[in-house]
Amino acid sequence: MAEKIEIGSKAPEFSLPDQKGKRVNLADYLGKTNLVVYFYPKDESYGCTKEACSFRDNYEVFREAGAEVIGISSDDVASHQAFAANHKLPFILLSDKDRSVAGRYGVGKSLGILPGRVTFVIDKQGIIRMIFSSQLSFEKHIEEAIAMLKKI
Protein backbone atom coordinates (compact mmCIF):
# COMPACT_ATOMS: atom_id res chain seq x y z
CA MET A 1 0.00 0.00 0.00
CA ALA A 2 1.43 3.37 -1.01
CA GLU A 3 1.75 5.93 1.77
CA LYS A 4 0.91 9.61 1.42
CA ILE A 5 4.07 11.68 0.99
CA GLU A 6 3.87 15.43 0.52
CA ILE A 7 6.19 18.34 -0.15
CA GLY A 8 7.65 19.27 3.23
CA SER A 9 7.55 15.65 4.47
CA LYS A 10 10.69 13.99 5.76
CA ALA A 11 11.96 11.60 3.08
CA PRO A 12 11.54 7.96 4.13
CA GLU A 13 14.84 6.17 4.84
CA PHE A 14 15.99 3.55 2.36
CA SER A 15 18.77 1.01 2.18
CA LEU A 16 18.98 -0.78 -1.17
CA PRO A 17 21.67 -2.44 -3.30
CA ASP A 18 23.05 -0.46 -6.24
CA GLN A 19 24.07 -1.81 -9.65
CA LYS A 20 27.35 -3.08 -8.14
CA GLY A 21 25.61 -4.79 -5.20
CA LYS A 22 26.75 -2.15 -2.68
CA ARG A 23 24.16 -0.94 -0.15
CA VAL A 24 23.16 2.69 -0.47
CA ASN A 25 21.26 4.52 2.29
CA LEU A 26 19.48 7.85 2.29
CA ALA A 27 21.43 8.68 5.46
CA ASP A 28 24.70 8.52 3.44
CA TYR A 29 23.69 11.80 1.76
CA LEU A 30 21.98 13.75 4.55
CA GLY A 31 23.84 16.91 5.48
CA LYS A 32 26.07 16.53 2.41
CA THR A 33 24.11 16.95 -0.82
CA ASN A 34 20.65 17.40 -2.28
CA LEU A 35 19.20 14.33 -3.96
CA VAL A 36 17.10 13.73 -7.04
CA VAL A 37 15.49 10.33 -6.51
CA TYR A 38 13.46 9.04 -9.40
CA PHE A 39 11.34 5.91 -9.47
CA TYR A 40 10.83 4.33 -12.87
CA PRO A 41 9.05 1.21 -14.17
CA LYS A 42 11.62 -0.92 -16.02
CA ASP A 43 15.21 -1.04 -17.30
CA GLU A 44 15.56 -0.92 -21.10
CA SER A 45 11.90 -0.02 -21.75
CA TYR A 46 11.43 2.85 -24.21
CA GLY A 47 10.31 5.55 -21.75
CA CYS A 48 12.68 4.54 -18.96
CA THR A 49 15.65 4.52 -21.34
CA LYS A 50 14.69 7.99 -22.63
CA GLU A 51 14.33 9.26 -19.06
CA ALA A 52 17.62 7.69 -17.85
CA CYS A 53 19.51 9.08 -20.85
CA SER A 54 18.04 12.54 -20.14
CA PHE A 55 19.28 12.32 -16.56
CA ARG A 56 22.66 11.17 -17.93
CA ASP A 57 22.84 14.02 -20.44
CA ASN A 58 22.07 16.53 -17.67
CA TYR A 59 24.12 14.84 -14.95
CA GLU A 60 26.73 17.62 -14.82
CA VAL A 61 23.93 20.20 -14.45
CA PHE A 62 22.65 18.25 -11.43
CA ARG A 63 26.14 17.98 -9.93
CA GLU A 64 26.74 21.72 -10.46
CA ALA A 65 23.40 22.38 -8.73
CA GLY A 66 24.68 20.42 -5.73
CA ALA A 67 22.69 17.22 -6.23
CA GLU A 68 23.24 13.52 -6.73
CA VAL A 69 20.87 11.49 -8.92
CA ILE A 70 19.52 8.09 -7.88
CA GLY A 71 17.21 5.94 -10.00
CA ILE A 72 15.09 3.22 -8.35
CA SER A 73 13.10 0.38 -9.92
CA SER A 74 12.16 -3.18 -9.05
CA ASP A 75 14.69 -4.60 -11.54
CA ASP A 76 17.47 -6.68 -9.98
CA VAL A 77 21.13 -5.70 -9.54
CA ALA A 78 22.26 -7.56 -12.71
CA SER A 79 19.61 -5.79 -14.81
CA HIS A 80 20.68 -2.40 -13.39
CA GLN A 81 24.34 -3.21 -14.05
CA ALA A 82 23.61 -4.01 -17.71
CA PHE A 83 21.30 -0.97 -18.11
CA ALA A 84 23.91 1.40 -16.63
CA ALA A 85 26.71 -0.05 -18.79
CA ASN A 86 24.59 -0.11 -21.94
CA HIS A 87 23.67 3.58 -21.67
CA LYS A 88 26.79 4.85 -19.83
CA LEU A 89 24.75 6.05 -16.86
CA PRO A 90 27.02 7.92 -14.41
CA PHE A 91 24.57 7.78 -11.50
CA ILE A 92 23.36 5.18 -9.02
CA LEU A 93 20.56 2.73 -9.80
CA LEU A 94 18.98 0.98 -6.84
CA SER A 95 17.11 -2.32 -6.83
CA ASP A 96 13.80 -2.20 -4.93
CA LYS A 97 12.80 -5.80 -5.74
CA ASP A 98 9.72 -5.91 -3.50
CA ARG A 99 8.82 -2.24 -4.19
CA SER A 100 8.76 -1.58 -0.43
CA VAL A 101 10.70 1.68 -0.80
CA ALA A 102 8.43 2.76 -3.66
CA GLY A 103 5.50 2.11 -1.30
CA ARG A 104 7.07 4.22 1.47
CA TYR A 105 7.45 7.05 -1.06
CA GLY A 106 3.83 6.73 -2.14
CA VAL A 107 4.74 5.52 -5.62
CA GLY A 108 1.91 3.23 -6.60
CA LYS A 109 0.86 1.82 -9.93
CA SER A 110 -0.07 4.02 -12.84
CA LEU A 111 -3.12 3.04 -14.87
CA GLY A 112 -3.48 0.23 -12.34
CA ILE A 113 -0.72 -1.84 -13.94
CA LEU A 114 2.54 0.02 -14.57
CA PRO A 115 4.88 0.87 -11.70
CA GLY A 116 4.76 4.65 -11.22
CA ARG A 117 7.22 7.17 -12.65
CA VAL A 118 7.81 9.76 -9.93
CA THR A 119 10.73 12.11 -9.25
CA PHE A 120 11.55 13.60 -5.84
CA VAL A 121 13.96 16.39 -4.96
CA ILE A 122 15.20 15.92 -1.40
CA ASP A 123 17.24 18.66 0.26
CA LYS A 124 20.33 18.14 2.45
CA GLN A 125 18.15 17.97 5.56
CA GLY A 126 16.13 15.11 4.10
CA ILE A 127 13.00 17.17 3.38
CA ILE A 128 11.06 16.52 0.18
CA ARG A 129 11.03 19.77 -1.80
CA MET A 130 9.45 18.55 -5.06
CA ILE A 131 7.33 15.66 -6.30
CA PHE A 132 6.71 15.27 -10.01
CA SER A 133 4.67 12.38 -11.36
CA SER A 134 4.13 11.72 -15.07
CA GLN A 135 4.19 8.38 -16.82
CA LEU A 136 4.69 9.89 -20.29
CA SER A 137 6.52 13.24 -19.95
CA PHE A 138 9.93 11.63 -19.53
CA GLU A 139 12.09 14.74 -20.01
CA LYS A 140 9.81 16.91 -17.87
CA HIS A 141 11.09 15.01 -14.79
CA ILE A 142 14.56 16.39 -15.48
CA GLU A 143 13.34 19.95 -16.21
CA GLU A 144 11.24 20.09 -13.03
CA ALA A 145 14.05 18.74 -10.86
CA ILE A 146 16.61 21.23 -12.23
CA ALA A 147 14.16 24.12 -11.74
CA MET A 148 13.64 23.12 -8.08
CA LEU A 149 17.36 22.68 -7.40
CA LYS A 150 17.95 26.23 -8.63
CA LYS A 151 15.48 27.44 -5.96
CA ILE A 152 17.00 25.65 -2.96
DSSP 105: T
Mean pLDDT of 130-139: 89
- What is the reported pLDDT for 1? 46
Q: What is the pLDDT of residues 17-28, one digit of tens each?
A: 999 999 999 999
| Mean pLDDT for all residues in the chain | 94
State the catalytic residue, choosing from 5, 35, 48, 70: 48
Flag whether pLDDT at 13 surpasses 70: yes
Q: 32-35 contacts: CB < 8 A, separation 24 or more? A: 32/124, 33/66, 33/67, 33/68, 33/124, 34/65, 34/66, 34/67, 34/68, 34/121, 34/122, 34/123, 34/124, 34/149, 34/152, 35/11, 35/67, 35/68, 35/69, 35/70, 35/120, 35/121, 35/122
Question: What is the tens place of the pLDDT at every residue in 53-82?
Answer: 999 999 999 999 999 999 999 999 999 999
- Classify domain 33-151 at the CATH superfamily level: Glutaredoxin (3.40.30.10)
Q: DSSP letter at 11?
A: P
Whether residue 48 lies in the annotated active site: yes
Supply the pTM of this predicted model: 0.94
Kindly calculate the radius of gyration of the chain based on its CA atoms and give it in whole angstroms. Answer: 14
